[in-house]
Amino acid sequence: MPEFHKKSRIERYLRPDKREETDLLEGLDEEYDLIVIGAGPSGLFCAINSSQKGKKTLILEKKKSPGHKLLISGQGHCNITNEAEIQTFLEHYGEHGRFLRPALLGFTNHDLIRFFEDRGLAMIQEKRGKIFPETHRSRDVLEVLIRECEANNVRICYNQVVRSITKAEDKFNVHCIDRTYLSSDLVIATGGCSYPATGSNGDGYRFARDFGHGIAEVGPALTPVFIKNYPFRDLAGLSFPEMNISLYCNKKIRDQRGDILFTHQGLSGPGILDLSRYIRPADILKLSFVPSEKKGELEKWLQDRARLDGGVGLRSILSSLPDSVPLSPKLIKKILEISGIATDLSLAHLTREMRTHLIDNLTGLPLVVSKLAGFDISMVTRGGVELHQVNPKTMESRLVKRLYLIGEVLDVDGDSGGYNLQAAFSTGMLSARSIKNNWT
């Protein structure tokens, strides 16, 4: 079993010296059986699993080292997948989850766990079924992938910025700054637009568009939202487990349940991040401190308490509100202020109009979205290559033979919790199997 040390053999890949890079460039042949653009998880996995004796595979990476986004995944801990039943995975990719069905069933979360454990990197399960490497180091995940590239004679060429791609006489011509590479099969694994400093700046959309592919509107996902006239700035850091939040654009679009976090400028937490793929500026989010279906019960409870304890302060009564998320004294005060109710009011002096307004805010406080956090913060990208133009059973383009599109470049994104990395590995594996079938 290999050991994973702080100074492991991957260091020369993470910080290759200039002499090694120059020697590698000079020694490369220009024609390959397969070229993969992008040394992220989907690209690396595709190259590893499509390798075959007598076939030459090349990965072109624009950065000076591989896996930049993988290294920062999960704040460097790498939430690689989820323990959930694979049949339920599809529910975590929004409306486009069905497209991933062949990929996910063909290479499951348990297959992915086994892949790394068979190569000496144990996995552990944590909250919400999240699976991490036992070492909690993204670098160890990347080391396994790079080692597999070496073992399978996959060449990685760094600092190669692809300018354009053309196809002539059944050969893809990949034009970089100072040279052109040729291949029979080509995989676009360039990622989306999130964390552009890692190299994901949307190049793949341009390459796909040049071959006739449509690109669904691209935007940040798994990202916090900013709120217009945000009232909870002084409550930043306050969180709520399993809160219900509803999204409206003229009418209700979607309900989401999950952990919510108040930030200095808006909302975050898994519940918001997972909903963010649907959120647009000017939409309305309604927070339910008390479930909306409990609205009638809440009104009766307040009326009953007014008859029994009318002289008690309203703030004190609300601290024992049934069926609510935890309400701190500061939050209760803020909700009363938002509702236009004096914070020292006694329950007996709560008018019917006040009570109605308070109940409305407790069961669905409306907040107007000003904007979403940008690509520099968003974990993934929503939108991408339109799925009807890609064969979900092979990841091959329906428009261009032997062109494959995998990972985040596609118009599919997952919830937080390991679902996006699983999709990257699963689509990488599916494309690899299809490529190998072409070669037999």
The angle that helices 109-117 and 419-439 make with each other, rounded to 10 degrees, is 80
Give the span between the Cα atoms of 415 and 405, in whole angstroms. 21
DSSP calls for 117-152: HTTT--EEE-GGGEEEETT--HHHHHHHHHHHHHHT
Give the span between the Cα atoms of 51 and 387, in whole angstroms. 26
Asked if 180 and 174 touch (Cβ cutoff 8 Å), the reply is yes
pLDDT for residue 21: 43
Q: Do 11-220+380-439 and 224-373 come out as alike in CATH topology? A: no
pLDDT for residue 139: 97
pLDDT for residue 68: 93
Residues 177, 179, 183: CA angle, nearest 5 degrees: 120
State the CATH architecture for 224-373: Orthogonal Bundle (1.10)
Q: Hey, where are the domains in the chain?
A: 11-220+380-439, 224-373
pLDDT for residue 440: 79
Query: What token pair was written down for 244?
Result: 């219900």
Average pLDDT for 9-16: 49
Cβ-Cβ contacts under 8 Å for 367 (sequence gap 6 or more): 227, 228, 230, 267, 284, 285, 286, 287
Asked if 174 and 186 touch (Cβ cutoff 8 Å), the reply is yes
pLDDT for residue 20: 39
One-letter identity of residue 18:
K
Superfamily of domain 11-220+380-439: FAD/NAD(P)-binding domain (3.50.50.60)
pLDDT for residue 87: 84
Q: What pTM does this model have?
A: 0.90
Interval 241-292: pLDDT, tens: 999 999 999 899 999 999 999 999 999 999 999 999 999 999 999 999 999 9
Interval 76-119: pLDDT, tens: 999 999 999 988 999 999 888 999 999 999 999 999 999 999 99
* Mean per-residue pLDDT over the chain, rounded: 92
pLDDT for residue 369: 98
Interval 54-75: pLDDT, tens: 899 999 999 999 999 999 988 8
pLDDT for residue 379: 93
pLDDT for residue 427: 98
Share of the chain above pLDDT 90, in %: 84
pLDDT for residue 22: 40
pLDDT for residue 11: 52
In sign, the C-alpha dihedral spanning 226, 232, 236, 237 is negative
- pLDDT band, very low/low/confident/very high, at 200 (cuts 50, 70, 90): confident
Interval 148-157: pLDDT, tens: 999 999 999 9
pLDDT for residue 17: 41
pLDDT for residue 10: 52
Task: Decide which of 323 and 13 is more confident.
Answer: 323
Interval 356-399: pLDDT, tens: 999 999 999 999 999 999 999 999 999 999 999 999 999 999 99
One-letter identity of residue 338:
I
- pLDDT band, very low/low/confident/very high, at 24 (cuts 50, 70, 90): very low
Interval 306-324: pLDDT, tens: 998 888 999 999 999 999 9
- Whether the per-residue pLDDT at 178 is higher than 90: the answer is no
